[in-house]
Amino acid sequence: MELALQQAQLAPLIGEVPVGAVLVHNHDVIAAGHNYREVSQDPTAHAEMIVIRKAAKRLRTWRLTDTILYVTLEPCPMCAGAIMQARIARLVFGAWDPKAGACGSIVDIPSERRFNHRVQVTGGLLEQESRELLQTFFRTKRGTFSESDSPPKPAS
């Protein structure tokens, strides 16, 4: 997760929201990246999508079984779907996302029993550090701070 945080710290240097991701296979990092939506003007260029594409190319398969994805922010519906389609075994994320989170905040796509693949999900790892990166970025970008920039944990 610390490597995902390092990736997230690189994103603001190019004007991107600080979300980083790392994919691990057999204890080896096989892909790392961060958001590229602004630079590429590609709405699908989320950190998770970048990493999934890199890993599939490296392993020469779209089936990323036996992998763990670490990401600093709870994945959105698009990324949660891609994680399931890629057959990623486990997802670990930092901050919860009450505005677009699809792994427990707004919806919980990975736990939907009607899908044929299950992803083990752990949220809140290095949550404070992940949240602080986002808060600092938005404070700097907007010149103000709002409590809505702070993703809270979902209600239990």
What is the residue-level pLDDT of the chain in tens, covering all 156 positions? Answer: 999 999 999 999 999 999 999 999 999 999 999 999 999 999 999 999 999 999 999 999 999 999 999 999 999 999 999 999 999 999 999 999 999 999 999 999 999 999 999 999 999 999 999 999 999 999 998 886 555 545 545 544
Specify the pLDDT at position 142: 87
Specify the pLDDT at position 144: 62
Specify the pLDDT at position 101: 98
Q: What stretch of H or E contains 28? A: strand 28-34
The Cα 140–Cα 133 span in angstroms is 11
What phi and psi, each to the nearest 5 degrees, are found at residue 28? -115, 140
Specify the pLDDT at position 143: 82
Q: Which of 2, 38, 48, 129 is catalytic?
A: 48
Burial of 140 (0-12, 13-18, 19+ CB in 10 A): exposed
Q: pTM of whole model > 0.85?
A: yes
β-strands 67-73, 20-25 pairing? antiparallel
Specify the pLDDT at position 136: 96
48 is a catalytic site residue: yes
Specify the pLDDT at position 13: 96
